[in-house]
Each structure stands twice: as C-alpha cells, then as structure tokens.
Copies of this chain bind each other. A is one copy, B any other.
Amino acid sequence: MTTNTVFRNRSVLIYGLSLALLMFLLKWLEWRFLVIDHATEIYAGCIAVLFTGLGIWLALKLARPKVQTVIVEREVIIRTDSFMLDEKQLEATGISKRELEVLQLMAEGLSNEQIAERIFVSVNTVKTHSSKLFGKLDVIRRTHAIDKARKLNLIP
C-alpha cells in the first residue's frame, strides 16, 4: 500500500465521519423537538415508569412470605436398659447411703467441690466419703470406682 492510497483513504474516512456526525446532529435535533412537543407525555411516562418500579419494589418488599414447613427427622439413639439398684451388692459392699449419693454425683462428672455444694457439706467431707467408698469398692481412683459400681449395678 502506497502513501498515496493512505491519504486517499483518510480523506474518505473524514468525509464519512463528517457525514455521520451531521446525521447524528439532525437526528438529535429532531429528537429534541419531539421532546419539547411531547413534554407532558414524556413527563407522564417517566412518572409511570418510576411508580411502576416503586410498586414492584413495594410489593416485593412487603409481600408476606409463604411459609413452608419441612420436617426433618433426626435419629436419637436411646439405650433403654432400665437400671435397677442391686440392693444385695449394696449390702455386700457395705456402702452407706451418703457414700452412694457421692458415688452417683461422681458418675455424673462432678468435682468434689461441686458434690460438696450439691449435698451441703464441706469438700473435706466429700473426700472422706469418697476415700471410704474407694476402700469398699477396692479401687484407688474415682473413674475406676464409677466403672466398678456400674458393673455391680449400683449406679445406672
């Protein structure tokens, strides 16, 4: 492509652009007059569009949601071995009422202090009870006492 061709093409381009601009201007003027002529209609149209939008927004915002209830089933495994205190074992081990009480609370995971609060005695008393309890169950740890007591049907 020679330089000459480029120049000729540029002229064509400029000419085309000018033409396009002119037509655009004319169209714009035409549109302007249209706007002036139909000002009221356009005004009304704008309001219509605006308030239609408002109405839609209002409806969506305020519409009461339809409530749909979904029931989800959740499995709960419950062991139903009914506990019954073994009185004979209680007698055999020689565990007293109070000691059994402490043992039950122990099995629920309470600390000595919490047990003391629960049965309205001092921590020292709880310690004495548990010590004697351990002796009677022949264990040296509360966890072991709990396990053994359960196997003897002294606690659930």
Query: Which residues does A use to contact B, with CB under 8 Å?
Result: 40, 43-44, 47-60, 63-81, 83-84, 86, 88, 106-111, 139, 141-148, 153
Contacts and interface: CB of A to CB of B under 8 A. Distances in A.
Given A59-B55, A66-B65, A72 B75 contact: no
A34 to B, nearest CB: 20
A90 to B, nearest CB: 12
Nearest to A48: B51
Contact of A56 (B48, B59, B142): B59
Please give the count of copies of this chain that the complex contains.
Answer: 2
Contact of A54 (B52, B72, B81): B52
A59 B63 contact: yes
Contacts of A54: 52, 55
Contacts of A84: 77
A75 B84 CA distance: 13
B76 A78 contact: yes
Nearest to A88: B75
A108 to B, nearest CB: 6
16 contacts: A48-B50, A48-B51, A52-B54, A55-B58, A56-B59, A59-B60, A64-B66, A67-B70, A69-B70, A70-B72, A73-B74, A74-B74, A76-B76, A77-B86, A107-B147, A109-B145
